[in-house]
């Protein structure tokens, strides 16, 4: 047992170090070409210069948002995969992102954002996500029991319906609205509003804390509902709370940064490969790895074809997918394996 | 319907706060309106343009030496290609922009709204020129840009001469028969220029009737085109797509435009992001297409 704890601590330190390293690397890298040796003096006496502004007003917010969103999405991925005992579930499978995207599309097409200012887009996205959560939840309740398989299917169907509705809206919208919609759907960590960045960080850290209270329950649930029930877990209550927690984490991430795919699907699997499928450690490793992964991808997206920027979802898909396929061929990924 | 009190309370709270948030910006937005004043005295010396048409207009106004950055699509005039590039029309590389220390950024309605917001937060003046809906709006925008960079006189001169030329062309075609025209600005889905786009002005000034003027949306059905049977079909697009579309139209032997061989392809760059000067050139071309008898030297 003690050996295990020591191994876990080593993993946490390793991943924490990686995360810190990637963040610093990301802060130093960019198209403005600030030499690395100038960065230290800049931090202490550079106030008011352009370079200082680039570091702390442009790069730093992106890094922080990357940590928050990457962590939140991976966490939601771990929770849902554990709950559904299905390795292919990711936060977006439940239709939450579709609902958020639909909310944002309606907002843009109805012209609310021109009146409502910069915050109206995230809020409409979040409301859209909440609507879908309510809908999926109420459709999957049967006689007071949350039907897990039904939940998944309903979510997937609602995803499809939402994306068809978005297609419809795009077909009848004006050119300039179309661009707004496409922008948002592509997903990006560019966010001018500090309040939103802080909110995203807060939600993702809180989510981490709450999820950790359920690490035992998740371990039990990944054995199967029957077994969990025999182990004395109140499965119904746990399932509901976990579902809402994962949904809120996803809803917040999507409403701030748009749809960034693949993070919530791949990172939990890497977490399992690294430190095993015990949720006591998996929640932490996935959170740290998710943050590191997204910040790294965003840095690549900013710098690969500078001065042009790629959408970060492109990089998460390519990098995450290739790494994952490579890892799969190297070794079998056991889901929830010990 | 089983209710789990905890869940419902959480969700209701979320909804409630969401609506509170909504009502908050509606109130905060009203204050912003008063802060957007343009100071006419400090003319910007380092300008970044985020739209090809805006870049072109800066060259027309003769302030190209103050242009420090533009998008990769700013290829007209030729000299613009050598300027520092700060991204595409929709994606802006903020680091690059801030690094160039501009005192004015010219944005379009296609520019990422978040990027605009961010630049304003960093204390850079951002002026947004949305897509013009007709010729007179285009001239107004041009005059506005002229005022912004301190080139009032030049802007007035250019727009007045453009307006005179347009009036001359209108005069020329006034008494000629007006052909029905269908202008296609996109394929798959078939997209028509409606009365809301300035391409409508091209048709009307050049003495034609825009078949799709009353359409609410740009998406148009081919059946409708066959039924209305326009005399001229103009495809605004570039390269291969245009040729393909032309072939598709030619497979409908019953169309008047096919029988008379009046299906034309025009360059989208000139027709879709015009300045007052290139508007006149494009209008000349359009008039030549609709009334070949006026411009016998133009060959297709």
CA–CA separation, A240 vs A214, rounded Å?
A: 12
The pLDDT tens digits for A148-172 are 778 888 888 998 999 899 988 887 7
Length of chain B: 300
In order, the DSSP letters of A9-24 are HHHHHHHHHHHHHHHH
Cβ neighbours of B122 in A, within 8 Å? 53, 57-58
8 Å CB contact of A241 and B85: no
Buried b (16+ CB within 10 A) or exposed e, B120-150: bebebbbbebebbebbeebbebbbebbebbb
- Give the pLDDT mean for B38-58: 81
- Give the pLDDT mean for A114-125: 77
- Residue A19 has a pLDDT of 93
- Chain A neighbours among B 46-65 (CB < 8 Å)? none
The yes-or-no verdict on residue B26 having pLDDT over 70 is: no
- Give the pLDDT mean for A101-119: 79
- Residue B296 has a pLDDT of 61
A152: three-class secondary structure by DSSP? helix
For residue B69, the surrounding DSSP H or E stretch is strand B67-69
The pLDDT tens digits for A173-185 are 776 677 778 877 8
What does the block give as tokens for A9?
């601590």
- Residue B4 has a pLDDT of 55
Omega of the bond leading into A87 within 30 degrees of 0 (cis): no
- Give the pLDDT mean for B161-168: 88
- Give the pLDDT mean for A85-91: 84
Q: What is the mean pLDDT of chain B?
A: 78
- Give the pLDDT mean for A301-307: 82
For chain A, say whether B31 makes contact (Cβ under 8 Å). Answer: no
- Chain A neighbours among B 175-204 (CB < 8 Å)? 189
The yes-or-no verdict on residue B1 having pLDDT over 80 is: no
Of A42-46, A120-124, A197-201, B12-16, give the lowest mean pLDDT range.
B12-16
8 Å CB contact of B29 and A171: no
Which residues are bridge partners to B182 per DSSP?
B233
What does the block give as tokens for B98?
């801030």
- Give the pLDDT mean for A246-258: 89
Q: Give the N- to C-terminal CA distance of chain B in Å, as an integer.
A: 71
The yes-or-no verdict on residue A68 having pLDDT over 60 is: yes
| % of chain A beyond a pLDDT of 90 | 24
- Residue B300 has a pLDDT of 45
- Residue A296 has a pLDDT of 94
CA–CA separation, B288 vs B285, rounded Å?
A: 5
8 Å CB contact of B101 and A50: yes
- Residue B24 has a pLDDT of 45
For chain B, say whether A48 makes contact (Cβ under 8 Å). Answer: no
The more confident residue out of B182 and B294 is B182
**pLDDT band at residue A299 under the 50/70/90 scheme:** very high
The yes-or-no verdict on residue A85 having pLDDT over 90 is: no
8 Å CB contact of A53 and B28: no
**pLDDT band at residue A336 under the 50/70/90 scheme:** very low
Which residues are bridge partners to B48 per DSSP?
B69, B105
- CA of A280 vs chain B CAs: smallest distance (Å): 25
**pLDDT band at residue A192 under the 50/70/90 scheme:** confident
CA–CA separation, A308 vs A38, rounded Å?
A: 24
- Residue B14 has a pLDDT of 56
- Residue B281 has a pLDDT of 85
A89: three-class secondary structure by DSSP? coil
Q: What is the mean pLDDT of chain A?
A: 85
8 Å CB contact of B29 and A117: yes
What does the block give as tokens for A104?
């944002």
- Residue A119 has a pLDDT of 78
8 Å CB contact of B131 and A175: yes
- Give the pLDDT mean for A15-33: 87
Q: Do the Cβ atoms of B95 and B124 come closer than 8 Å?
A: no
Interface with B, mutate which of A96, A207, A248, A307 (most B CBs under 10 A): A307
The more confident residue out of A53 and B2 is A53
Rounded to 10 degrees, the C-alpha dihedral A140/A208/A202/A236 comes to: 30
Going A205 to A206 to A209 to A212, the CA torsion angle's sign is negative
**pLDDT band at residue B17 under the 50/70/90 scheme:** low
8 Å CB contact of A50 and B113: no
The more confident residue out of B214 and A335 is B214
Residue B293: HSE in the Cβ half-sphere, 13 Å Cα cutoff: 8
Q: How far is CA A217 from the centre of its chain?
A: 22
8 Å CB contact of B90 and A179: yes
């Amino acid at each position: 047992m003690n050996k295990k704890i020591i191994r876990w601590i080593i993993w946490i330190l390793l991943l924490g170090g990686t995360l810190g390293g990637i963040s610093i690397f990301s802060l130093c890298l960019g198209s403005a070409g600030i030499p690395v040796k100038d960065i230290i003096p800049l931090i202490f006496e550079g106030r008011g210069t352009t370079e200082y502004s680039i570091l702390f007003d442009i790069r730093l917010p992106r890094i922080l948002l990357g940590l928050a969103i990457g962590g939140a999405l991976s966490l939601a991925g771990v929770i849902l995969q554990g709950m559904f005992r299905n390795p292919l579930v990711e936060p977006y499978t439940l239709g939450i992102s579709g609902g958020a995207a639909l909310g944002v599309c309606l907002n843009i097409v109805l012209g609310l954002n021109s009146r409502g200012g910069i915050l109206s887009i995230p809020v409409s996205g979040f409301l859209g996500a909440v609507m879908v959560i309510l809908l999926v939840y109420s459709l999957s309740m049967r006689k007071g029991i949350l039907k897990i398989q039904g939940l998944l299917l309903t979510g997937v169907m609602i995803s499809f319906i939402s994306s068809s509705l978005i297609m419809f809206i795009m077909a009848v919208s004006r050119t300039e609205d179309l661009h707004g919609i496409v922008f948002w759907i592509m997903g990006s960590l560019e966010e001018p509003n500090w309040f939103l960045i802080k909110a995203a960080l807060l939600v993702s850290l809180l989510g981490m804390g709450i999820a950790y209270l359920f690490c035992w329950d998740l371990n039990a649930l990944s054995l199967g509902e029957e077994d969990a029930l025999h182990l004395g877990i109140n499965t119904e209550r746990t399932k509901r709370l976990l579902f809402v927690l994962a949904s809120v984490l996803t809803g917040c991430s999507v409403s701030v940064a748009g749809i960034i795919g693949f993070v919530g699907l791949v990172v939990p699997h890497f977490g399992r490969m690294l430190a095993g499928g015990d949720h006591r450690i998996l929640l932490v490793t996935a959170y740290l790895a998710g943050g590191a992964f997204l910040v790294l991808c965003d840095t690549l997206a900013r710098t690969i074809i500078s001065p042009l920027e790629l959408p970060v979802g492109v990089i998460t898909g390519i990098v995450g997918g290739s790494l994952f396929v490579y890892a799969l061929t190297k070794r079998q990924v056991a889901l929830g394996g010990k | 319907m089983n209710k789990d009190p905890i869940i419902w309370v959480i969700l209701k709270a979320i909804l409630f706060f969401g609506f509170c948030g909504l009502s908050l910006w509606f109130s905060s937005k009203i204050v912003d309106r008063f802060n957007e004043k343009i100071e006419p005295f400090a003319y910007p010396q380092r300008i970044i343009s985020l739209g090809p048409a805006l870049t072109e207009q800066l060259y027309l106004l003769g302030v190209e030496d103050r242009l420090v950055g533009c998008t990769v699509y700013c290829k007209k005039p030729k000299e613009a290609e050598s300027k520092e590039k700060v991204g595409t029309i929709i994606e802006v590389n903020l680091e690059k922009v801030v690094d160039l220390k501009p005192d004015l950024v010219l944005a379009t309605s296609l520019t990422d709204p978040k990027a605009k917001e961010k630049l304003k937060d960093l204390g850079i003046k951002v002026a947004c020129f949305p897509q013009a809906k007709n010729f007179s709006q285009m001239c107004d925008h041009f005059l506005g840009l002229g005022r912004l960079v301190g080139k009032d006189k030049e802007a007035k001169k250019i727009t007045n001469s453009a307006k005179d030329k347009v009036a001359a062309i209108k005069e020329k075609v006034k008494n000629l028969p007006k052909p029905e025209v269908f202008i296609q600005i996109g394929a798959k889905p078939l997209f028509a220029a409606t009365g809301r786009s300035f391409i409508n002005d091209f048709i009307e000034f050049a003495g034609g009737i825009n078949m799709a003027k009353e359409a609410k949306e740009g998406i148009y059905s081919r059946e409708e085109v066959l039924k209305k049977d326009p005399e001229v079909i103009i495809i605004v697009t570039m390269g291969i797509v245009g040729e393909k579309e032309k072939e598709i139209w030619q497979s409908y032997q019953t169309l008047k435009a096919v029988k008379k061989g009046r299906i034309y392809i025009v360059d989208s760059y000139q027709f879709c992001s015009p300045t007052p000067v290139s508007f006149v050139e494009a209008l000349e071309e359009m008039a030549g297409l609709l009334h070949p008898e006026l411009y016998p030297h133009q060959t297709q």
